[in-house]
Structure formats: structure tokens, C-alpha cells
Structure 1
Amino acid sequence: MNDEIVATVTLQDIAKAAGVSVASVSKVLNNRPGVGDESRRRIIGIADQMGYQARTSRGQSSAAIERVTIITAGEYYSNSQFYADVIRGILDAASSQAVSVDVRLVARYLPEADSDIDKILKEAVSGAFLLVGLDDPEIIERIVASGFPAIIVNGADRSMRISSVTPDNRSAGWLATCRLLAAGHRRVMHVTLPHRTSLVRRMDGFRDALEEAGLGFDRSRDVLDLGKEGVLEYQSALAIRRALNDGRLDGVTAFFCSSDLVALGVVEGLKEAGFAIPGAFSVVGIDDVAIALYSRPPLTTIRIDRLELGRVGFVMLQQKIADPSVGVRHVDIGVELIERSTIARIG
């Protein structure tokens, strides 16, 4: 079909042929939700048959997104409710747009992850990528060099070459710590394994709250680094017992933990040592995974909308495909304090 014929095809033409409203056609051709899968496929098929070619405001052709590849660490995919929900958000958004999704699992750490991603890129002829929880600089280099459109979900490119979306981790840390300070606590310890930027940002929010309250921040005093203790996140109970035995928790009345998994371990370690929660110590986590509600006592935490995190990542990838010249940006998703039963007022 020649350019003259293509130029005469309108949304009204497609709507009439498909037996739907112009609004429905507009939603489908602009990759917006609100149209059923069957109607969406019919509209796309008719638009292709009629030779319709949408134009962006820059006069460029708007590419259709047909297949997306999620790349994430196998460890995240199999062991983490957080990442399972993020991926489900992506899958839900893709399904609403009749977009096929592949999930490719890679090693969590370099150099294995680098070689896994290199293999994925060599096999790819065309496509687009969502890097879920992967923001190592070497991995980013590989993706940028490939030229494929990509978005980082729950991570960030500090070189600002790939757009990204994360929870507002710094605000989450600040909000959790402010809640403990409001309950009268003046010696709050942050328990974390700061191996990723997102966890460092949560610690930054913790520091912000302490400094704003005039308490100052001393990392050697105020942070229990699980990495330096030689334990993993799910082993935080062991680190707490060691800190108790060594006298490092003298004066501490509350804990802000970098995740619910860490917080539940802290609660376990304190209870095993004979302390009541929240009678002796108050504890706050982050993430609001399902088990936080059913722990004993139920955990006060910061809720992250993980489904929304995945959906926003998918929409950002659509926008990048439609207009490759769109600027790089970082998007923060809001968080919410969920009050349960692990904070007690003191003083």
C-alpha cells in the first residue's frame, strides 16, 4: 500500500470496520488499557490490514509492542514474594494489551549474570526488556550497547541511560523512622543488608529522620549491618542475638528493618532472648509481604504497591518503544505506613 493510501486511513475507518467506538481504537493504538483482549486483537489486525500508521508528535512512526522479555535473577523469581508480585503486575499489564511476555532467569551476581544476559542478547533479534531488580553497572552497559529498549524495575541506572521505576525507598525509610520517633523512641537501630542501591536509600531515609529530630547519625552505632555480621537477611535473628550478647543494643528501644524478612527475624531473635514485642522493643519493616500480617504479633510495616511497580514499568517501556527519543527518567512510586502491633509508645 502506498503512502497516499496510508495517509487517508483514519481512526473512524478502523472503528467502522471493527464495529467498535473511535475511543476504543484510540486506546488500542496508543497502548492504553480499557479494551478487551478480543476487541484489541481485532482492532490491531484491521489497522494492519488497512495500512494505518500512527504518528507521534515528533513525526516518527509509533512502533507496536508485541513481545517483552523480563530478565530477573532466578533467586528473586523463586524465593521472593516481592518480586513475584512485581512480575505479576507486569504480566497483568501485558495481558491487557495482548502483549506476549517471556521470563528469562539469570544468576544474581557477576560474572555469571553478565554471561547469562549476553546469551539472551545474542539470541534476541528484536524485542524489549524489563530488568527486574537488576541494575549492576556492567549489566546496564550490556543492555545499553545492545540498542534494545529497556526499563529497570526496582532498580536504577545512576548513569541515567536507562529509565527506571522504584518505590520511594528514601521516603519509606524516613516514614518508618519518624513513626518510631513519634512513639517516643530515641535510640533506634537500623538492621539492613545494604547490598543494593534501594536498601541504601532506605538507610538514607533513616538517617534523614534522625538528623531532623536532632539525634544525629553514627553508622557504627545506629546500623546493624548483616553483611558485616556474615549473615543473610533471613538470618537476622542470629545477628540480633549476637548484638545482645555483645552489649551493642544497650539503650536501643526500637528497630527499623530494611525489609519485612529482616524485621521478622529481629522479632524472632528478641523473643527467643525473652523480650516481649512490642513491650520491650518496637519493630517496623518495609514491603508488607503477606506473612507480615500473620506474624505474631502482626508487623507494622511500610506498604509498597508491588503490582503497581510492575504495571508502571510496563507502561514506561511502551512509551519508550512508541517514542525512542523520550528522555531518560526515574519514577518513584509512593509508599504507605501500615499500622499493626509491633510499636509501643515509651516515655
Structure 2
Amino acid sequence: MRATVRDVARHAQVSPKTVSNVVNGTFPVSPETRQRVEDALRELDYVPNLSARGLRNGRTGVIAVALPDLSTPYSASITRAFVQAGARRGLTVQIEESAGSVEREAQLLSRARSHLIDGLVLNPVLLETSAVQPGVSLPPVVMIGEVEQPAVDHLWTDNVRALRELTGLLVDEGHRRIALLGGMPSASYQLRRQGYREALTAAGLPLDPALEIDVHGWTSAGGAEAVRSHLAHHPLPDALVCCTDTLAMGVLSALWADGYRVPDDLSVVGYDDIPEAAYTVPPLTTVHFDRQVVAEMALDLLARRINDPSHPSSSTVLPHRIVRRASTRPR
């Protein structure tokens, strides 16, 4: 006989409403309670009746997560976190690529307004090119990343502080000619460049425009191409601060191919702490933040917005830390 919500509630020693909150993702539940309910769901082989649920509450049980570029290792790790967090809530997570396009973002917002999906988690590239703007009729939306729009809930890491700390680490280890690699039109780059510049200024080091290196994209190929182009016309810096680990992977490959040794000839650092960062040669010093926490908090905020569209919007800064590995050394 098929298990019911009441069966699960008795087994987990919680109320049926708490079971519904866990299954539907409608309200935040403490980790301990969620674990008890999930254990009961698994042990009783509970299967939610999604058709009945949709007819009852007008929801699809589907949310969308839209990222600018799905080809990067960072995108793979963050989408995995969202799929896992969604599964724990009984949600289907639809993964989309916005490509930084206002038209694509607008299409996704329209889907949510038409109730084809229940809500949207969006990672825009620039506020100016985002479809999420003041005065626009918005469905339930949570924004992640560096673009902040006060009209919606927002989760991000403090990029300025993180780059200030990362660059400061290099300064403290005796590096003086420190380059920043990753220049492109994005809010992430603008904030990371600000932190980099603040660290150099605080150390009394000059800001040299030649050490701010543009790229054609935040890909490994883009990183390799940019560092080779730079070194064809400029001397080797003491250190390279790469705006993402994906860029840093390309930089490490290009430097190795051209006969440079990291960290003996120069130090290299990244940002994101993707799983591959621990296995580059040498392992990469980088900025870490917990992507599973991002996904869990984003879906909690989205559930709150779905249930209470008038709730005041919030902006939450997530913690980060520097992970020291073997790609840096004192000068």
C-alpha cells in the first residue's frame, strides 16, 4: 500500500505540515528535522503525487536555474548543488543558459509569470543588460552572483573583500608586480578588480594598467590565450591573480607549455575553488565559498517568495575563505 504524508509524519515524529514543507520546499525546515523526514521518506518509499499537488496549489514543482555559461567547471559544480538541493525538496530543477542575454532572461521570466515554472534563480552578468529591472512585473526570482537588484532577493560573496585578501596574501609574501587576468564586461570582474586595486594601493604599490589583462571569455582557452599574448609584449610578473579557477587552469597550462615553472618563476591564484583546483599542477591557491550553501539558501528564499510575494527583499553575503595550495610561494 502506498505510503501517505501522515505515514511519513508518524515515522519521523513530526507533523504532516512539516512533511509537506520538506517535500514541497514551501518553508525552511531545520537541517535536523529535514534529515529525519528525508530518512522517513526513503524508508517508506514515499512517492509524492505531483499531479494532485499541482491541481491543489497551482504549482508545477519545477524551478529554473539560469547561468551565463554552462560550459565552465564552475557551472557544473553549482548546477549539481541546485539539483541536489531541489531533489531534497521534491522539486525538478530546469537548467538554462542565459548567455548574458536580456532576451533570454526575459523569456525565462515570462515562463515564470505564465506559471510554466514556479520560480527562477538567475545569475546575470551585468545589471544594465539584465531583464530584472525596477518597475518590471516580476515572478518569484532570486539572483545569485555579483549583480545586485534591490527589487529581488540576492545571494553573493563579497568579491571586493575576497580579491583584496587574495592580492594581500601575495603582497605579504613579497610579490610586487602582481597582474590581474580576466578583464571583460561583467559585474564580477568590476568588483574583483576593485579589490585587487585596493590591496595594491594599501600596500603602496602602483596601479599599472599594463598589469590588468583582458580576456575574450572566462574559459581555460581564454586564460591561455590572454597570458601568452601578454607575455609576448611584457616581462613576467611576480604573480598572476586570475578572476576564476577556469582561467587559472588555462594560464597554468600555457605557462607550463612555454617553459615557465609555477610557483618558482611566478605565483598563480584563482577564484571559486572548483573541484579541479585541488588537482591542477601545482594545486591552485584560490577563494572558496560553499556552493551547496548557495543552492540551499537560494531555494529557501525562492520558496519564501513563492509563498509570500510581498515579503521584503533581502541581500545576503555568503562567507568565503582563502585556500592555500602549492601555486604560490614567498619571493
TM-score interval for Structure 1 and Structure 2 normalised by the shorter chain: 0.7 to 0.9
Does residue 85 in structure 1 map to residue 47 in structure 2? no
- Alpha-carbon shift at residue 234 of structure 1 (Å): 2.3
SS at match of 2:152: coil
Question: 2-side partners of 1:117 and 1:16: how far apart?
Answer: 38
Question: Cα–Cα, structure 1 residues 143 and 149, in superposed 2: closer, same or farther, change >3 Å?
Answer: farther
Cα distance, 1:166–1:36 mapped onto 2, change above 3 Å: same
Secondary structure of 2:143's aligned partner? strand
Q: What is the match of residue 231 of structure 2?
A: 244
Deviations along 1:250-271, one digit per CA (max 9) or x if unpaired, are: 6x21111101121122222333
Kindly tell me: are residues 68 and 165 of structure 1, through their superposed partners in 2, closer, same or farther at Cα, counting changes over 3 Å? farther
User: Which of 186, 210, 215 is matched with 1:226 structurally?
Assistant: 215
Aligned partners of 1:69 and 1:128 also within 8 Å = yes
Where structure 2 has 5 or more consecutive residues not aligned to the other structure, the ranges are 22-26
Runs (4+) of structure 1 exceeding 6 A deviation are 14-17, 63-66
CA distance in 2, matches of 1:194, 1:166: 19
Deviation at 1:224, TM superposition (A): 0.8
Instruction: Provide the C-alpha distance between the structure 2 equivalents of 1:163 and 1:338, rounded to a whole number of angstroms.
Output: 28
- CA distance in 1 between partners of 2:60 and 2:162 (Å): 35
Residues 24 and 170 (structure 1 numbering): CA distance in 2 closer, same or farther, change over 3 Å? Answer: farther
Q: 1:67 aligns with which of 57, 61, 65?
A: 61
| Structure 1 unaligned blocks of 5 or more | 1-13, 50-62
Shift of 1:287: 1.2
Find the partner of 1:110 among 96, 101, 104. 101
Q: 1:333 to 1:194 in 2, by over 3 A?
A: farther
Of 251, 261, 281, which aligns to 1:276?
Answer: 261
Deviations 1:148-203 (A, max 9, x none): 11101224334x11111122222221121111111111111100133321222111
Take 2:79 and 2:8, find their aligned partners in 1: how far apart are those partners?
36
1:96 paired with 2:93, answer no
Q: Which has the larger radius of gyration?
A: 1
Q: In structure 2, the residue corresponding to 1:186 is in which secondary structure? A: coil
Q: Which residue pairs with 2:142 in the alignment?
A: 151
Deviation at 1:101, TM superposition (A): 2.0
In 1: Cα distance, 2:199 partner to 2:248 partner: 19
Matched AA of 2:99: R
Q: Which residue pairs with 2:24 in the alignment? A: none
Output the CA distance in 2 between the equivalents of 1:145 and 1:298.
45
- Aligned CA distance change for structure 1 residues 85 and 213 (closer, same or farther; 3 Å): same
**Cα distance in 1 between the residues matched to 2:303 and 2:309:** 10
CA distance in 2, matches of 1:320, 1:119: 17
Q: Corresponding residue for 1:315?
A: 300
Q: Percent identity?
A: 21
Q: Distance in 1 between matches of 2:106 and 2:124?
A: 17
TM-score, structure 1 as length reference: 0.75
Aligned length: 308
Distance 1:299 1:126 in 2: 39
Q: 1:222 to 1:166 in 2, by over 3 A?
A: same
